[in-house]
Every structure is written in structure tokens, then in C-alpha cells.
Amino acid sequence: MRNVDFSPLYRSTVGFDRLFNLLDTMGQPEQAPAYPPYNIERTGENAYRISMAVAGFSESELSIEAHANVLTVKGEKAEEDDEGNSEYLYRGIAKRAFERRFQLADHMEVQGATLKNGLLYVELLRNIPEAMKPRRIAIETRSGEPKTISAQKNVEMDAA
């Protein structure tokens, strides 16, 4: 595994410590299991959707929490009362609990979640506050007199 040294970037950037720490941890081998499988889709300019396969889980067995730029999806299966009427010859449907975490960018908001056909959909929206959006700054002259361009005046006089 190759390590990247971000120290030269620390000298010329301010406030990107969280980004560099995130990149550092992403470079390390992931220890989280691959269960449950998921997709991350871009559905609009500032809209995203996480689709997660949670077959066999009901709404009451799933919880979604967003806190400090981390989205956590947890699933805990309730114990079934198996009265001894059936014996499993093969058990391939997972009943194990899971916890999946997603790092969210700044200003990402969870809009809602739906469970349909065994898929959990979490809708996300990047909502940048007006104070953070770029704005145009007007340039004023100190003399208070409007500036005129002499070339345009000459063209108008020649035309008359």
C-alpha cells in the first residue's frame, strides 16, 4: 500500500484538515464488511440517493441517523419465535445486524428515506447557504463621476 504525504499541502491550505484526514483513512484497507450492498447515485445537480439492499428488514428494524457529517444506517433483526415447527436445511437469508456509515460533505442534508421492495432509499440534498454562495461585488469609483468611454462618444458624433 502506498502512503501519501500531505504535509506540503498543509503549508498552502487552511481549514482542509478534515479532508486530508478523510483521504488518509480512505487509503487504509477497509475493515467494514460488504453487507449490505449499496449504490450511491447522483439524481440532480445537488441531489443524491443512497440505495441499500435490506431484504427481510422492516421499517421498525432499521434506523437512520445523521450527525456531524456522518450518515449511519443500522439494522437489527428482531428475534423470531421459532416454535420448533420447522428445521432449516440451508439458511442463506442473512439475519445479522449491520451498521453502515457514510461520510457526508459539508451542507449535505438528509431529505427523507423510503423502504420499497427490500431496498432502502435515502435521499440527500446539498443545500449551500446563501452566505456561502459566490456573489458579485460592485466596483465603485471614488470621484463619484460616471466614467465615459471617449471612443463611444466619437463614434456617436461621427454617426450624427
160 found inside a domain:
no
Residues 4 and 74 in one domain: no
CATH code at 63?
2.60.40.790
**Confidence at residue 89, expressed as pLDDT on a 0 to 100 scale:** 85
Dihedral Cα 104, 106, 110, 115, nearest 10 deg: -20
Span 58-75, pLDDT tens digits: 888 999 999 888 899 999
Mean pLDDT of 89-97: 79
Task: Grade residue 36 by pLDDT with cuts at 50, 70 and 90.
Answer: confident
pTM value?
0.61
- Cα-based angle 8, 9, 13 (whole degrees, multiple of 5): 135
Span 109-150, pLDDT tens digits: 899 999 999 899 999 998 888 777 788 888 887 766 666 666
Task: Grade residue 13 by pLDDT with cuts at 50, 70 and 90.
Answer: low
Rounded Cα distance between 37 and 50, Å, is 11
Q: Which grid coordinates belong to 28?
A: 487504509
142 found inside a domain:
no
Q: Which grid coordinates belong to 32?
A: 467494514
Range of the domain at 109: 32-79+89-129
7 found inside a domain:
yes
Residues 23 and 67 in one domain: no
Listing DSSP states for 75-123 in one string gives: E-PPPP---SS---S---S----EEEEEE--TTEEEEEEEEETTEEEEE
118 found inside a domain:
yes
- Cα-based angle 98, 120, 28 (whole degrees, multiple of 5): 45
**Confidence at residue 51, expressed as pLDDT on a 0 to 100 scale:** 93
> Which residues, in sequence order, are CB contacts of 72 under 8 Å at separation 6+?
64, 65, 66, 99, 100, 101, 102
**Confidence at residue 116, expressed as pLDDT on a 0 to 100 scale:** 92
pLDDT over 70 percentage in the chain: 64
Rounded Cα distance between 75 and 26, Å, is 24
Residues 27 and 68 in one domain: no
Chain centroid offset of residue 109 CA = 8
**Confidence at residue 159, expressed as pLDDT on a 0 to 100 scale:** 53
109 found inside a domain:
yes
Residues 18 and 53 in one domain: no
Rounded Cα distance between 95 and 106, Å, is 34
Residues 74 and 125 in one domain: yes
